Structure 1
Amino acid sequence: MSAEHLHEARTRREEAWARFNSQKDALRTGLAERSIPTRIKHAAMDRVIDTVDEAKAVAKDNVPVIAGTLALLAAWFFRRPLIRLIKDRFASGEDEAEDVT
């Protein structure tokens, strides 16, 4: 290796080392300001907030669909009492019809 080639290689190495050290210092400074868990927490909260905003927009556009879904869920939840009520109503109607004849 010639002296000039060696000098060029050293210069490139020193420049690369300086870039690396500046990036390392920037990373350390950034981590000193906000730790990794804090960054993860903030990123997760931002995503949750975006998701909630999107859900609100979808719900606002589809009120009848949501109302129908809630009504069906309520009917499913109260299905046994509703079935019992309907059977009792029809059973009492059949008893009255039998009394007339």
Structure 2
Amino acid sequence: MSEEALQEARTRRAEAWARFNGRKQALREGLAEQPIPTRIKNAAMDHVIDAVDEAKAVAKDNLPVIGGTLALLAAWFFRRPLITLIKHRFAPAAEADEDAA
């Protein structure tokens, strides 16, 4: 390797090392301002807020579907008391018809 090529390689190495040190210093300064856990928390909160906003928009567009689903779920959870109530409501009418005959 000639002296000229060696000097050029050293110059490129020195420039690359200076760029690396500059980036490293910028990273250290950035991390001093806002540490990694804070950055993660902020990014997660941004994603959560975006998801909630999207869910609100979808819910606003589909209010009847959500209302119907909630009504069906309530009917399912209270099915036994509802069935009992319906049987007691209509059972006396059926017994009265049988007594009249």
Are residue 28 (structure 1) and residue 28 (structure 2) matched?
Answer: yes
Q: Which residue of 2 aligns with 1:44?
A: 44
Q: Larger deviation: 91-100 or 47-56? A: 91-100
Offset at 1:90? 2.3
User: What residue identity is the alignment partner of 2:66?
Assistant: I
Which consecutive residues of structure 1, in runs of 5 or more, have no partner in the other structure?
none
Q: Which residue of 1 aligns with 2:91?
A: 91
Moved over 3 A (4+): none
CA RMSD of aligned residues (A): 0.9
User: What residue identity is the alignment partner of 1:98?
Assistant: E
Of all paired residues, the percent bearing the same amino acid is 75
Which consecutive residues of structure 2, in runs of 5 or more, have no partner in the other structure?
none
State the aligned residue count: 101
Residues 49-87 of structure 1, C-alpha deviations (whole Å, 9 max, x = no match):
000101111111111111111111111111111011111
Q: Which residue of 2 aligns with 1:71?
A: 71
TM-score with structure 1 length normalisation? 0.95
User: What residue identity is the alignment partner of 1:58?
Assistant: V
